[in-house]
């Protein structure tokens, strides 16, 4: 079974995808980490993330880099949004993601184009969203916990700018697949959102089930 989980930054898609993977005993890939790894390499080499050739040169990284905590920082996330807009970067990472999705037994993948590009034939597709302000509040709290001092207004501006880049890019823009179930986590607890996601998967794979 292949489960595709898409959505914007701080919507809760990663948490939901990891929970689904654990619940169904499936391997999980946060595809955003691939672009964050490229971004990290660009930053370390002092390259220009807006220059496609520089970003492509950073695509040949080893898998162990995906475990680097630095990849999950806001600094790397902003650059990842820039490099991910380059068609040649997306092409360079495409097969890596498709191979993971099509492994024996299935997988859970989360990102922004899983249900539309990486695994359009996924058994279950979810599009997870939340309001920009709710997402900004979540990210702001996360940053404060990590000792990063910044204003909520700045985080909100960054969230909106990232949404704009991700949805307006010409190559594989962030879109809800026509057959994806919409899950709005704006006013749901983590547990409630996960249970709703499980109910959606069950409804798609077991016709006798319906989402709560």
Residues 6-62 have pLDDT tens digits of: 999 999 999 999 999 999 999 999 999 999 999 999 999 999 999 999 999 999 998
> Binding residue per annotation — 186?
no
209 confidence band (pLDDT: 50, 70, 90): low
> Binding residue per annotation — 8?
yes
121 confidence band (pLDDT: 50, 70, 90): very high
End-to-end Cα distance, the chain:
21
> Binding residue per annotation — 15?
yes
> Binding residue per annotation — 13?
yes
> Binding residue per annotation — 147?
no
What is the per-residue burial (b if ≥16 Cβ within 10 Å, else e) of 97-131?
Answer: beebbeeeebbbbbbbbbbbbbbeebebbbbbbbe
172 confidence band (pLDDT: 50, 70, 90): confident
Mean pLDDT of the chain: 94
Encoding tokens for residue 207? 């016709």
For the chain, which residues make up each domain, given as ranges? 2-205
> Binding residue per annotation — 10?
yes
210 confidence band (pLDDT: 50, 70, 90): low
Please give the share of the chain, as a percent, with pLDDT higher than 90.
83
> Binding residue per annotation — 197?
no
Question: CA 101, CA 66: separation in Å to the nearest integer?
Answer: 17
Greatest alpha-carbon pair distance for the chain in Å reads 55
Question: CA 119, CA 112: separation in Å to the nearest integer?
Answer: 11
Task: Provide CATH code, domain 2-205.
Answer: 3.40.50.300
Count Cα neighbours of 201 within 13 Å in the Cβ-side half-sphere.
20
pLDDT digits (tens, 9 = 90+) for 76-118: 988 998 999 899 999 999 999 999 999 999 999 999 999 999 9
pLDDT at 206: 84
176 confidence band (pLDDT: 50, 70, 90): very high
**Owner of token pair 């898409």:** 6
208 confidence band (pLDDT: 50, 70, 90): low
> Binding residue per annotation — 32?
no
> Binding residue per annotation — 130?
no
pLDDT at 48: 97
Encoding tokens for residue 57? 């040169």
Task: Tell me the pairing of strands 181-184 and 124-129.
Answer: parallel
Residue 29: burial class (beta carbons within 10 Å; 0-12, 13-18, 19+): buried
pLDDT at 170: 84
Residues whose CB falls within 8 Å of the CB of residue 187, separated by 6 or more in sequence, listed in order: 134
Q: Hey, which residues does 108 pair with through a beta bridge? A: 3, 28
């Amino acid at each position: 079974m292949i489960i595709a989980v898409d959505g914007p930054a701080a919507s809760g898609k990663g948490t939901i995808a990891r929970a689904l993977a654990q619940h169904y005993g499936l391997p999980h890939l946060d595809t955003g980490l691939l672009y964050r790894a490229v971004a990290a390499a660009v930053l370390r080499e002092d390259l220009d993330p807006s220059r496609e050739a520089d970003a492509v040169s950073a695509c040949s990284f080893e898998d162990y880099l995906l475990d680097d905590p630095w990849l999950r920082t806001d600094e790397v996330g902003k650059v990842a949004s820039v490099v991910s807009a380059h068609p040649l970067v997306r092409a360079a990472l495409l097969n890596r993601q498709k191979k993971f999705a099509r492994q024996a037994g299935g997988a859970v993948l989360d990102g922004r184009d899983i249900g539309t590009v990486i695994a359009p034939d996924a058994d279950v597709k979810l599009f997870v969203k939340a309001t920009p302000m709710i997402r900004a509040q979540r990210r702001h709290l996360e940053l404060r916990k990590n000792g990063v001092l910044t204003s909520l207004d700045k985080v909100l501006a960054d969230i909106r700018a990232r949404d704009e880049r991700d949805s307006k890019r010409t190559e594989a823009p962030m879109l809800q697949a026509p057959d994806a179930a919409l899950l709005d986590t704006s006013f749901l607890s983590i547990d409630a959102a996960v249970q709703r996601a499980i109910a959606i998967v069950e409804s798609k794979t077991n016709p006798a089930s319906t989402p709560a």
